[in-house]
């Protein structure tokens, strides 16, 4: 099938939810992808943060092949035990914060967040959930209702009730909002889709303390930040922030659709048989891939590599801001989750389009920004290649 046929088929039969770039990607290797005509591109989006080990990594393809020859799904789903699931649980126990001792699996981050919210209400007997402005927690009706961006919420009325919003990083506003009706506070330790906003260490620790004092549960949405995306395996774990639920997806399985959530023993003891479930929750194929990915990240010290690549990124981008102060408003990020915020949306779009024309995929975020989040395994040479293309695009647009 040629690219033209691919375009025509998808445009005719796919639901119209995206404005697509006219490129049909056929294959990938590491941080590079090729279209159907054989044109190569460098990927600085990692499939929106999921291909943490790059495209077609042999560790992942071998885990897929090995498990697929054995069994994809248990005969009675979650009612049977699975060696692959047990292996993944042991891997997770080596990297999760130590107070999170129970895990359940899902198909996505939205499902994980949806479940954590639902179960927090069950455990506390309360209804209200506090979220933050500019947050993003998923596209189910419940997680859409929990997302602090009007553009994602208001076209889907009626939304789920009992959600409130506070300013991200504002401890006083959170303290005022916490009352006897609040079941949980859900927060991204670093906001991703909302623009890569980083709170102070003290904010997250104090939020945990305030929730405990109030009897509310703290849900850390680490769907994007988890599994070394910002350096440490988990942001909250590295900060010593105690949470009641931690939700996971994206990098958990290197591109295979998979997610999960972890909880404390105290929370688990208040749950009952039948409170949650799912046909594919913890299927052997997904578990085998996820275990292989986590083992690779851990054994190859990807955390330290990400921190070093992140320093190179931020140091390089600082020069862009100095060179083009009228075009670039701010650069912020941690590890390999970085935002270049431009003066206006038109400049960001033109830079993004110019990057693609030069063979680099980037992600325009919140209109005015470009989010940089490549594979965590990217080499310094590959990183500098992509940064060089971005610099050329910025120079062409703003120079």
- Write the pLDDT tens digit of every residue in 52-79: 999 999 999 999 999 999 999 999 998 9
In a domain, 52, yes or no: no
Cα–Cα dist 307/189, whole Å:
17
Same domain flag for 210 and 348: no
21 φ, ψ (degrees, to nearest 5): -75, 140
Same domain flag for 115 and 150: yes
Same domain flag for 250 and 278: yes
Q: Is the dihedral of CA 106, 111, 116, 187 positive or negative?
A: positive
Residues 394 and 328: beta-carbon distance below 8 Å? yes
**In the block, residue with structure tokens 């506090």:** 130
In a domain, 278, yes or no: yes
Q: What is the extent of the structural domain holding 199?
A: 60-299
Same domain flag for 195 and 324: no
In a domain, 319, yes or no: yes
Same domain flag for 160 and 274: yes
Average of per-residue pLDDT across 369-387: 98
13-27, 207-221, 297-311, 381-395: range with lowest mean pLDDT: 13-27
pLDDT for 18 equals 86
* CATH assignment at residue 122: 3.40.640.10
In a domain, 100, yes or no: yes
Cα–Cα dist 72/63, whole Å:
12
Same domain flag for 233 and 253: yes
pLDDT digits (tens, 9 = 90+) for 167-191: 999 999 999 999 999 999 999 999 9
pLDDT for 19 equals 85
Same domain flag for 79 and 219: yes
**pTM higher than 0.75 for the full model?**
yes
Same domain flag for 207 and 326: no
Same domain flag for 311 and 334: yes
155 φ, ψ (degrees, to nearest 5): -85, 0
Q: Which of 299, 314, 346 is the last residue of a domain?
A: 299
User: What is the overall mean pLDDT for the chain?
Assistant: 96
Q: Which of 299, 331, 366 is the last residue of a domain?
A: 299
In a domain, 126, yes or no: yes
More confident residue, 151 or 110: 110
pLDDT for 1 equals 60
pLDDT digits (tens, 9 = 90+) for 85-135: 999 999 999 999 999 999 999 999 999 999 999 999 999 999 999 999 999
Same domain flag for 294 and 324: no
Average of per-residue pLDDT across 3-15: 92
Q: Which residues pair with 25 in a beta bridge?
A: 35
Q: Which of 299, 322, 345 is the last residue of a domain?
A: 299
In a domain, 32, yes or no: no
Same domain flag for 67 and 91: yes
pLDDT for 312 equals 98
For residue 26, give both structure tokens. Answer: 């056929």
Average of per-residue pLDDT across 2-9: 90
Is the pLDDT at 333 greater than 90, yes or no? Answer: yes
In a domain, 25, yes or no: no
Residues 123 and 271: beta-carbon distance below 8 Å? yes
In a domain, 14, yes or no: no
Number of domains making up the chain: 2
**What percentage of residues in the chain have a pLDDT greater than 90?**
94
Average of per-residue pLDDT across 360-372: 96
Q: List C-alpha distances in Å: 328 to 196, 314, 320, 331.
A: 15, 14, 8, 8
* CATH assignment at residue 353: 3.90.1150.10
Same domain flag for 152 and 110: yes
Q: Which residues pair with 106 in a beta bridge?
A: 259
pLDDT for 91 equals 98
């Amino acid at each position: 099938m040629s690219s033209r046929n691919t375009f025509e088929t998808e445009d005719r039969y796919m639901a119209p939810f995206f404005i697509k770039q006219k490129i049909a990607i056929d294959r990938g290797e590491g941080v590079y992808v090729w279209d159907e005509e054989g044109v190569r591109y460098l990927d600085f989006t990692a499939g929106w943060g999921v291909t943490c080990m790059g495209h077609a990594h042999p560790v992942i393809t071998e885990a897929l092949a090995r498990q697929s020859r054995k069994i994809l799904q248990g005969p009675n789903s979650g009612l049977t035990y699975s060696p692959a699931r047990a292996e993944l649980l042991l891997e997770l126990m080596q990297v999760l914060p130590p107070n999170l001792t129970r895990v359940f699996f899902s198909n996505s981050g939205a499902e994980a967040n949806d479940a954590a919210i639902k179960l927090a209400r069950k455990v506390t007997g309360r209804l209200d959930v506090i979220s933050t402005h500019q947050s993003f927690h998923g596209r189910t009706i419940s997680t859409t209702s929990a997302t602090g961006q009007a553009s994602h919420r208001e076209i889907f009325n009626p939304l789920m009730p009992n959600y409130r919003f506070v300013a991200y990083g504002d401890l006083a506003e959170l303290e005022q909002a916490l009352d006897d009706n609040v079941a949980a506070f859900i927060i991204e330790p670093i906001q991703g889709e909302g623009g890569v906003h980083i709170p102070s260490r003290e904010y997250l620790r104090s939020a945990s303390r305030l929730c405990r004092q109030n009897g509310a549960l703290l849900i850390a949405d680490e769907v994007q930040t988890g599994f070394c995306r910002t350096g440490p395996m988990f942001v909250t774990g590295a900060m010593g922030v105690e949470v009641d639920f931690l939700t996971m997806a994206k990098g958990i399985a290197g591109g295979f659709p998979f997610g999960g959530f972890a909880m404390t023993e105290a929370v688990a003891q208040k749950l009952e048989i039948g409170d949650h479930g799912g046909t594919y929750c913890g299927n052997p194929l997904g578990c085998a891939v996820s275990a292989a990915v986590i083992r690779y990240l851990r054994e190859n010290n990807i955390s330290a590599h990400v921190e070093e690549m992140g320093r190179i990124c931020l140091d390089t981008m600082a020069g862009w801001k100095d060179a083009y102060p009228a075009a670039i408003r701010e650069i912020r990020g941690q590890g390999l989750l970085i935002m270049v915020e431009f003066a206006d949306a038109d400049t960001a779009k033109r830079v993004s389009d110019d990057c693609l024309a030069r063979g680099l995929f980037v992600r325009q975020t919140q209109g005015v920004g470009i989010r940089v989040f490549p594979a965590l395994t990217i080499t310094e040479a590959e990183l500098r290649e992509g940064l060089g293309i971005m610099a050329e695009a910025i120079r062409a647009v703003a120079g």
